[in-house]
Amino acid sequence: MKAMLYDSTRCIGCRGCQIACKSWNEQPARPSTFFAGPGYQNPADLASTSWTVITYNEVEREGQFDWVFGKLQCMHCNSPSCASACPVAALVKTDLGPVIYKPERCIGCRYCQFSCPFIVPRYQWDRPVPFITKCTMCYDRISNGGVPACVKVCPTRAMGFGDRDDMIREAEARIASAPNVYLHHIFGRDEAGGTCVLHLSSVPFDKLRYQASVPTEVLHHYTDMVGIEGPILSWVVGGLALGLSGFWAFAQRKAEVAHAEGASHETPGSPDSGTRGVRGSKKK
């Protein structure tokens, strides 16, 4: 299983990863403003067209303020709650590690949004036919032997990519080599049962605007029931659609019968009867 390692101590906040993510996934740029708080973060949070965001954080250390950066994106859980909660298998955990999304299966229930402990999936509220969007860890790239676009462009090598076990060993080695620099915790190694995106930091992870309170347990027991009820929900939605279609067809047929009965009661020779009447109604 593959994984990404993000080291915030090496990040310079250039946001090249944000641009690379948009470019590779053909996501449009949209007007935005700086985050209404300390720092110069832009955009303020993940969005349907922003699948990764660098957080800008002013942290006080030893009486001085310091810039510390973080990286928001899908964590690609080893046992993803979003996939467990999805009643139609629109979210799928792949053998390579990424959790990918299949929009053709989605019914718009948004259970994945409510079940994600990292608050990642976003909804396309501005579209008439909306879908859920999120980072795919560039599954199309890594399935062909490449690396995620954000990893590829990082000028300071703040991100690494490889087998998950190797990334964990690399993170442990960095902590051991500089124990006074790093927080002695690898965020993502155990959270929610483990993820395929790992983080290192010099400050507590909540200072980077991460969901640092996520428990280490696998969260399936909160979401598996939705998976059990999924087929029922699909049948209900399908039955409702079929029922509405039947009602529409019945209403149409009733209107046609009423029109035909009205035409049969017309007085012969009247202006609206016979062929002339039909032509007149079509002209109208």
105 within some domain:
no
- Please report whether residue 184 resides in a domain: yes
What's the pTM value of the predicted model, to 2 decimals?
0.78
Altogether, the residues listed in the chain come to a count of 284
Co-location of 209 and 254 in the same domain: no
d(CA 265, CA 57): 80
pLDDT value, residue 128? 86
Domain-located, residue 125: no
In whole angstroms, what is the distance from residue 97 CA to residue 1 CA? 5
Give the count of beta carbons closer than 10 Å to the beta carbon of residue 138: 23
Query: Can you give the pLDDT at residue 223?
Result: 63
Q: Domain span at residue 253?
A: 232-283
Same domain, 270 and 193: no
72 with 206, same domain: the answer is yes
Same domain, 242 and 176: no
Whether the bond between 43 and the residue before it is cis, its omega within 30 degrees of 0, is: yes
Give, in order, the Cα–Cα distances in Å from 133 to each of 46, 76, 102, 211, 264. Answer: 10, 13, 10, 19, 57
Residue 112 structure tokens? 């994945």
Tally of CB atoms within 10 A around 164: 21
**Per-position pLDDT tens, the chain of length 284:** 999 999 999 999 999 999 999 999 999 988 877 765 656 788 889 999 999 999 999 898 888 888 899 999 999 999 999 999 999 999 999 999 999 999 999 988 899 999 999 999 999 988 888 889 999 999 999 999 999 999 999 999 999 999 999 999 999 999 999 999 999 999 999 999 999 999 999 999 999 999 999 999 987 766 664 544 545 554 454 454 445 445 555 555 666 666 565 555 544 444 343 333 333 444 44
Instruction: Identify whether residues 140 and 266 lie together within a single domain.
Output: no
pLDDT on residue 267: 45
d(CA 168, CA 97): 14
Identify which of 137, 29, 31 has the alpha carbon closest to the alpha carbon of residue 80: 137
- Of the three residues 191, 218, 245, the one that is the final residue of a domain is 218
HSE value, Cβ hemisphere, 13 Å, CA-based, for 243: 6
Q: Check whether residue 156 and residue 186 sit in a common domain.
A: yes
- The token duo for 76 is 């690609």
Residue type at position 211:
Q
Q: Is residue 109 part of a domain?
A: no
Instruction: Using alpha carbons only, give the angle 137, 143, 147 rounded to the nearest 5 degrees.
Output: 50
Are 37 and 167 part of one and the same domain? Answer: yes
| Residues contacting 218, CB < 8 A, separation 6+ | 79, 192, 193
